[in-house]
Structure 1
Amino acid sequence: MSQAAAEVQYQIDLSSPEHHLAQVQALFPQTDSHILHVNLPIWRTGRYQVLPLADGVRHFEARDAAGQALSWQRTDVGEWQVQLDKPTAVTISYQLYANELGQRVRHIDATHAFLDASGTLVYSPEFRQEPVQVALRVPDHWQSYSGMGRLGAQQFSAANYDVLVDSPIESGISQQRSFEADGKAYQLVVWGEGNYNLEQIVSDLQKVTAESQAIWHGYPFDHYVFMVHATSGARGATEHINSTIIQLPRFNFRERKDYLRFISTAAHEFIHTWNVKAYRPAAMVPYRYQQENMTPLLWIAEGSTSYFQNQLLLRAGVMTPKEFLDDLAKRIEANQHTPGREVQSVAAASLNQWTSGGGDYAANNSVNIYSEGYMASLALDFSLLHDTALKASYREVHKRLYQDYRVPKGYQVADVLQILQQLSGRDYHDWWQQHVDSPLSLDFAALLAQAGLQLSYGNDSKMQPYLGISLGDGLTLKRVARNSPAWQAGIGAGDELIAVNGIKVTAESFGKRLNDFQAGETITLTLFSNDTLVSHQVVLGQQPSGTLQLQPVKEVSRHQKAFFKAWLGIDWPFDNKGNFKA
């Protein structure tokens, strides 16, 4: 690579990848400092949790411009301090172990390497804003891709480390397609065999990416890469400023429900190119890689992205109105069966994201910034549509955030409230206190009626007994819903169910056995609790059978149809009999 003044250069040797190892060199320009601080982030963008990223670094060395060894010491989980006696350039070298596919940070094997700089390439705060070059040495038959600028077949450039850390590299044996949409260049790169259809994916991505302009005006990139891993188990996705990485089990593409999950994920990560990457909460600008970045606005970053993802698919014709409304119904039903929604606000969940966990306690006392943020976004959208006589929606809020609060500026709660007031002429402080800073409680029937929709479990639905437990392995209780009949009887997560009314049950027979009773009946559950045999009397509750659906109201008005179109951007999809139009 050509040496440039104040340029940081990285060399990654992947020539022997079969043991998940790489050799990395980082060449920092001359510095007059007595100590060069060298860091590896303790978290990666897109996942708001501290991770042991430096654990993959071994055989760390530091040398001056003459190749002489320099003294250094490890001073923090993600920091090394190199001692300097005189001004000099510094070369850092280390071995990198990369076998963490599901974390979407680093993975190297005989067929490919996925490298996110947050877990791969060290940086120095002193040179964080300097230009960057990355050169890879790879097996002859490998191809390398990134959203960064390309200098050669295996060589990339970035304006600075912040761009580098948000521009992962996929190198190896893969399938690739290039396409254009609305004047922008895209690549689809798929590693791994699977039952996907590349032509269908490209066709749908062309439609979806262009629909982004229904929300924003303009693009924060010229070139974008969709990276896909078809794997044997890893799943998930992470957004970046010029690309995304999506992981799915290799045979989870063909069935319609699986494909919708994939293409919806692609839309979600693509939306993040604006919402999170181009603009984000001020508390996260600039990213502080060596500590948590706390903000009460993560629900906008993530939940609002979830809210918009299927709207892009719907507008693009990739998802049908029925599929969209079925998904919304599932989300509403899941919300109503989340006890934590009565306890934690979406703002508190945003602050708690860095330490959030799973399990029974979390389900009963917490909400998820994705799902609850979706509902807060829905409520805010409907409120704006109502207050502006359908002239402005929540899309307009994000358009303003992109226009006025782009990185390096960032936005705060007061900025969002100001935008809402400008759009509606109404002070939204009280609304924010009720829906964001307090646990969110929505009257979905009244809310959706504005768009001509009603909730229904179907004509054949009937009330069935409700206990309030979820089984884990076998008959061990994974969760007990707060204030459910089982909860009120003193049954807890971790207890092992043995019998109902003195008769042994199995994991396969328990559901059928429960349906032998009526709501309001008292049954006796026998369980092992902390290895002790106990019995509890439980008064069964009730819940409707069937699947929640969204259907049109019987006599939909012209205004309700107009509300529906202003909300989703499509015409009323039902005929006069309440069936979806062909």
Structure 2
Amino acid sequence: MLAPSVVLANTDYKIDLTQPEHHKGEVSITFPASEEKFLDIKMPAWRTGYYRILNLANGVRDFEVRSNGEELRWEKVDKSTWRIYLPEQSGEVTVDYEIYANQLGRRSRHIDDTHAYLDASAVFMYADAWRNEPISVSLDVPEDWKSYSGMERQGDHQFTAQNWDVFVDSPIETGINTHYAFTQDERNYEVVFWGEGNYDAEKTVSDLKKLVGTGDSIWSDYPFERYVFMIHATTGAGGATEHKNSTVIQRPRYSFASRDDYLSFMSTASHEFVHTWNVKAYRPSGLVPYDYQKENYTDLFWIAEGSTSYFQNHLLLHAGIMEPSEYFERVATSIDRHKAKPGRDVMSVAEASFEAWIDQYGDRAHNDSVNIYSEGALVSWMLDSELLETTEGEVSYRDVHNELYQRFDADHEGFTAADVLTILKELTGRSWQNWWQSNVETPADIPFETMLERVGLELVYEKDDEPEVWAGWNANDTSGGMELTRVSKGSPAWEAGFTPGDVIVAFDGHKVVDGRFSDAFKEYEAGESITVTFFRRDQLHEKTLSVKAKPATDAKIEPVDEPTAEQQARFLQWLQIPHPNA
């Protein structure tokens, strides 16, 4: 293992975490001397990997600034910017402030008596003048704490980075934790567990070692020499975030042991690992360079997130961590969810990408919108299938992503839709402009049955001799009735005029005993009309609901018994494993 290179720091960051019980740390930053009249220092308004304005400056208190032992005048010029007025003979400028860190679920900053998770975007300020200069960060922590980061280590609790952008994309996990290390293909990996849970650490590390060996199934090489997995087993938080040289994965502490939970965890780990290339090594031009003070718009988030979701389980299959039947089950579930979402006919993945910064809520999220992750994954699959079919298996969507990796360095240049279309044309010898217009810029009509048939699979729905009736609403039982939370566009409930917030109290004049509305509803048959009594704005109303048979759900994907040679070949070209019935 090579010794880390020593970086001369131009900006020095320190944080005192020796009294963490109240979620607070004391930050001190020393900036180089400047000949300017003032220095603007900023706290980011969002963090990478989570496309929402978070207003992270709300954690700052007791701001002070000094130079040459003298306090300097400052003022806040906007919600995230502090302007420091510099004297003519100023030296280095030292800024001190307290940071409040109790946002574990946002994976931005969290300090307590067992650990601190520090994403620099939510903890440390920066100055544009020094953004491209080296930095160092040191931590003063309780005696039994251990510190880890994807940055270069210079001591037990000290790290360095080439510049702010590496620093802000290299979170720190410090505290009472369990650490593992391994080497795979001459690259170094670390796994850090914080928190008690029902995980099997040895198995997890063993499977992560299998996972990280699959990167070359898509890309020609790796963009790192060292990578850190940070795993939080906790309460009240879940999710994950990719970073340049590491990831943080949060799970409820008892959601690791079952097979389904474990595969969910490993899928998340794979998703974040794919991001090491797709987003961190290459990403859309709207995100290059990151502007930490405002939204960064692009119509290609569906590639950044959706294609990552598409590839995540391919790597698990390739590594032997997930069985083909388990993969088919997850694809079938995604098909069911797609078909049950009216928004698929309204919003394209390009529009969803541009709108990603806007929180969709209520019925709009379901009826008029799609998700960049799930819909982006399905459009990615559709493009992969078309590429394989058009080129008789010579070109796959993996080749497109490897070309993006080879041509676009996210530190300098991002890619556009035109760049993707150029790559598609160069790889296949034909224009993909019409396909793009029909399936990316317009809501896609995804031919699932055709795509599956090409690879020797079929979509199956079990017939129900006594189909359930369907209203098209979702609801929560309350003490006073059944409160609607969602009404699907075009459903019987939608046509009858029901809306979220309505509280249903009776069917056909009969109060439902003990709140068993679902059981009572099952007594009706498709085609019947029901008089529904409900409260809206605390007033009692009645409407007639004409129920229908429940649409086919619980899709299953099954391999055909005797796949043709072409289907077997296409399956292998698609997933890089043999067809189950080959």
TM-score for both structures, normalised by structure 2:
0.96
Q: Does 1:457 align with 2:490?
A: no
Query: Relative to 1, partners in 2 of residues 1:401 and 1:59: Cα closer, same or farther, differing over 3 Å?
Result: same
SS at match of 1:75: strand
| Moved >6 Å (runs of 4+) | 3-6
Q: Is the CA contact (8 Å cut-off) linking 1:314 and 1:321 kept in structure 2?
A: yes
Task: Name the CA distance, whole Å, in 2 between partners of 1:148 and 1:171.
Answer: 13
SS at match of 1:262: helix
Q: Is the CA contact (8 Å cut-off) linking 1:12 and 1:23 kept in structure 2?
A: yes
Deviations 1:173-222 (A, max 9, x none): 00111112222111110100111111100110011111111001111111
Task: Name the CA distance, whole Å, in 1 between partners of 2:282 and 2:515.
Answer: 49
Cα deviation for residue 505 of structure 1 reads: 2.4
Q: Is the CA contact (8 Å cut-off) linking 1:41 and 1:289 kept in structure 2?
A: yes
Task: Name the CA distance, whole Å, in 2 between partners of 1:461 and 1:184.
Answer: 56
What corresponds to 1:153 in structure 2? 156
Task: Name the CA distance, whole Å, in 2 between partners of 1:473 and 1:57.
Answer: 41
After superposition, where does 1:478-557 map in structure 2 within 5 Å? Answer: 478-505=485-512, 509-544=516-551, 547-553=554-560, 555-557=562-564
**What amino acid is aligned across from residue 266 of structure 2 in structure 1?**
I
Percent of pairs identical after alignment? 48
Q: Is the CA contact (8 Å cut-off) linking 1:388 and 1:424 kept in structure 2?
A: yes
Gap regions ≥5 residues in structure 1:
576-582
What corresponds to 2:576 in structure 1? 569
Cα deviation for residue 4 of structure 1 reads: 8.3
Cα deviation for residue 461 of structure 1 reads: 6.5
**What amino acid is aligned across from residue 449 of structure 1 in structure 2?**
E
What corresponds to 2:366 in structure 1? 363
Q: Is the CA contact (8 Å cut-off) linking 1:462 and 1:544 kept in structure 2?
A: no
After superposition, where does 1:8-157 map in structure 2 within 5 Å? Answer: 8-64=11-67, 66-86=68-88, 87-157=90-160
Q: Does 1:447 align with 2:451?
A: yes
Task: Name the CA distance, whole Å, in 2 between partners of 1:88 and 1:545.
Answer: 72
Q: Which of 217, 220, 226 does residue 217 from structure 1 map onto? A: 220
After superposition, where does 1:130-529 map in structure 2 within 5 Å? Answer: 130-407=133-410, 408-458=412-462, 463-472=467-476, 474=478, 475-505=482-512, 509-529=516-536
Gap regions ≥5 residues in structure 2:
1-5
SS at match of 2:351: helix
Task: Name the CA distance, whole Å, in 2 between partners of 1:6 and 1:156.
Answer: 10
CA RMSD of aligned residues (A): 1.5
Q: Is the CA contact (8 Å cut-off) linking 1:18 and 1:110 kept in structure 2?
A: yes
Cα deviation for residue 516 of structure 1 reads: 1.9
SS at match of 2:36: coil
Task: Name the CA distance, whole Å, in 1 between partners of 2:506 and 2:456.
Answer: 47
Cα deviation for residue 38 of structure 1 reads: 0.1
Cα deviation for residue 544 of structure 1 reads: 4.5
Aligned length: 572
Deviations 1:556-577 (A, max 9, x none): 32111111111101101137xx
Query: Relative to 1, partners in 2 of residues 1:5 and 1:144: Cα closer, same or farther, differing over 3 Å?
Result: closer
Q: Is the CA contact (8 Å cut-off) linking 1:461 and 1:544 kept in structure 2?
A: no
**What amino acid is aligned across from residue 251 of structure 1 in structure 2?**
Y
Q: Is the CA contact (8 Å cut-off) linking 2:40 and 2:127 kept in structure 1?
A: yes
SS at match of 1:37: strand
SS at match of 1:17: coil
Deviations 1:466-492 (A, max 9, x none): 110001353110000011110000011
SS at match of 1:10: strand
Task: Name the CA distance, whole Å, in 2 between partners of 1:500 and 1:67.
Answer: 77
Query: Relative to 1, partners in 2 of residues 1:473 and 1:40: Cα closer, same or farther, differing over 3 Å?
Result: farther
**What amino acid is aligned across from residue 120 of structure 1 in structure 2?**
V
Cα deviation for residue 452 of structure 1 reads: 1.4
Q: Is the CA contact (8 Å cut-off) linking 2:9 and 2:160 kept in structure 1?
A: no
SS at match of 1:438: coil
Deviations 1:253-272 (A, max 9, x none): 00111111111100001110
Query: Relative to 1, partners in 2 of residues 1:462 and 1:404: Cα closer, same or farther, differing over 3 Å?
Result: farther
Most deviating of 178-187 and 505-514: 505-514
Most deviating of 314-323 and 547-556: 547-556
Task: Name the CA distance, whole Å, in 1 between partners of 2:14 and 2:514.
Answer: 54
SS at match of 2:289: coil
SS at match of 1:19: coil
**What amino acid is aligned across from residue 388 of structure 1 in structure 2?**
T
**What amino acid is aligned across from residue 499 of structure 2 in structure 1?**
G
Query: Relative to 1, partners in 2 of residues 1:262 and 1:4: Cα closer, same or farther, differing over 3 Å?
Result: closer
TM-score for both structures, normalised by structure 1:
0.96
Task: Name the CA distance, whole Å, in 2 between partners of 1:397 and 1:478.
Answer: 41
Task: Name the CA distance, whole Å, in 1 between partners of 2:7 and 2:460.
Answer: 66
Task: Name the CA distance, whole Å, in 1 between partners of 2:334 and 2:513.
Answer: 30
